Amino acid sequence: MKLRNIAIIAHVDHGKTTLVDKLLAQSGTFRENQKVAERAMDSNDLERERGITILAKCTSVQWKDTRINIVDTPGHADFGGEVERILNMVDGVIVLVDAAEGPMPQTKFVVGKALKLGLRPIVAINKIDKPEQRANEVINEVFDLFAALDATDEQLDFPILYGSAKQGWMAESPEGPQDSLAPMFDLVLKHVPAPQTEEGPFRLLGTILEANPYLGRIVTGRITSGTVKPNQAFKVLDAKGNLVEQGRISKVLGFRGLERVPVEEAEAGDIVAIAGMVKGTVADTFCDPLVEGPLPAHPIDPPTVTMTFRVNDSPLAGTEGDKVTSRVIRDRLLKEAEGNIALRITESAEKDSFEVAGRGELQLAILIETMRREGFELAVSRPKVVFSTDEATGETLEPIEEVVIDVDEEHSGVVVQKMSERRADLIEMRPSGGDRQRLVFHAPTRGLIGYLGELLTDTRGTAIMNRLFHDYAPYKGELQGRRNGVLISNDQGEAVAYALWNLEDRGPMMIEPGWKVYQGMIVGEHTRDNDLEVNVLKGKKLTNIRAAGKDEAVRLTPPIRMTLEKALAYIQDDELVEVTPKAIRLRKVWLDPNDRKRAERAKEAAVG
């Protein structure tokens, strides 16, 4: 059967997964009466809850006499490592662009990678049914973007489709016909070349790794040369050509719609999943025992943010989770790093904490949330940036991100002011339709940690912020930290409503009556810039004298709800987030007040 391999790439929320749903439905993959979940490709619980794609996934549809393998990719820059690997498997890309928003930072990032690999793009202008759509301007912006990314003349001569993935149609003009996605299927067959294969025995570059309880490790990739069958002997070579393992392939799985089906044989050019390996991982070459050298694997951009994962040592440790020791945390992190090559994990000398470096706060927060749901308890430090050194001058360099903020005109002043406080440079400011402004900054990653919540407060929830790693640049100097101190519990027990009510004038609380607290745990935000120890366990003194007006009911202000991302952005260097399956708590690194003072004095002496 004829083959085509394509990836659908776009910025987050531009409609990739919705488009894949419609492609599957219109190609006859499902029975007419088959019930299919919306955004069928987002199979992971966190993906469904957040409405974002985190893991790249493969599917395939049959159109006329050709099978089209489709890869759905994440849209967030934090998961860019997934996208970079995937592009090695395909021969063409559909670049999906929102008809109102136009090309955004992540579009730029992925398109740049695709053009560098020589892939030929098809541009699909999606959401053409939006009242604020500006399709013609968006096409000019896409062309300018391609030109700025050094596209070849052949790549600049891209075909264009207009349509609405949600309504299930694409056409060569914005007017229609608005009946199906057939024009997109036909264009893929015409424009995307058939997979290029090489002569020789079986070779496959591992691209996606997953663990299956029945089959063990499953590696997905494109067959570069030869054929593969179940029970065939194979060996695994790492990127340097060293032998990793040898064995026999237990199963070869082909993608057919949403299912993975065992196949008797797969040929060069096809995307398949193979099982039977014990150590082989992403970026390794799976090949016939006769093959001498590995396939080239493209380098991945380096991590920019690091966090410390520690064993939870609070007084409540072990009461809510069942995976609490450093050994199980270490095994889980190493297993994650095998499948996700954008993560880098290093162990501390004490063996009870691990430095986990990744692409951004969201990527690390998703990892923590996944571990938490699996029953892990751990304490996590504030995210820090990964610095680099200029080899020629010895100067310290820090990661700089390109930040695009879409905001209502009335709020643009406060955004520019706050970003300049965070050492950001304003690069561009232009209208983006509907009384909104698009502001483009180059800002140090350090300054952006924890900014999203503040931005939404300043703009009454109307701003949209997108970030993308830009480059390393000389260190920009110190940044102002959090302005407010915190309220710290001075004892262990259960919080009492009366005590919380009495402390309300000290600042907003982060806990509710009945919650377990311990010495050194953060229970609220102080209205001033210093930390304050408070007693949240103090009950009301009861006497047998009753006077009018003495027994009003205690009415509490609702507390600040701390989500995981919010907590990671909020804490300072001397604080930790305690994460368990049931709760997210904030605490000081040193729980005892005397230890805290000692650490503070030592820090002042070191600075002095």
Q: Residues marked as binding for GTP?
A: 13-18, 126-129
Q: Which of 208, 272, 205, 199 is nearest to 239 (CA)?
A: 205
* Residue 212: partners with Cβ closer than 8 Å, 6 or more residues away: 218, 275
Residues 6+ apart with CB under 8 A from 25: 36, 168
Structure tokens at 102: 């136009």
d(CA 536, CA 521): 11
What is the C-alpha to C-alpha distance for residues 356 and 364, in angstroms, rounded to an integer? Answer: 8
Contact by Cβ (8 Å): 402, 444: no
Alpha-carbon distance 75 to 18, whole Å? 13
Helix (H, G, I), strand (E, B) or coil at 504: helix
Q: Buried b vs exposed e over 317-336: b needs ≥16 C-beta within 10 Å? A: beebbebbebebbbebbeee
Give the integer Cα–Cα distance in Å for 593 and 65.
Answer: 73
Positions at the binding site: 13-18, 126-129
Helix (H, G, I), strand (E, B) or coil at 596: helix
SS in 3 state form for 12-24? CCCCHHHHHHHHH
Q: Which helix (H) or strand (E) holds 205?
A: strand 203-205
Beta strands in 216-372 (DSSP E): 216-225, 227-228, 233-237, 243-248, 251-256, 259-262, 266-267, 271-277, 285-287, 305-311, 344-347, 353-358
Exposed, middle or buried: residue 307 (CB in 10 Å: 0-12, 13-18, 19+)?
buried
Euclidean distance between CA atoms 199 and 203, whole angstroms? 10
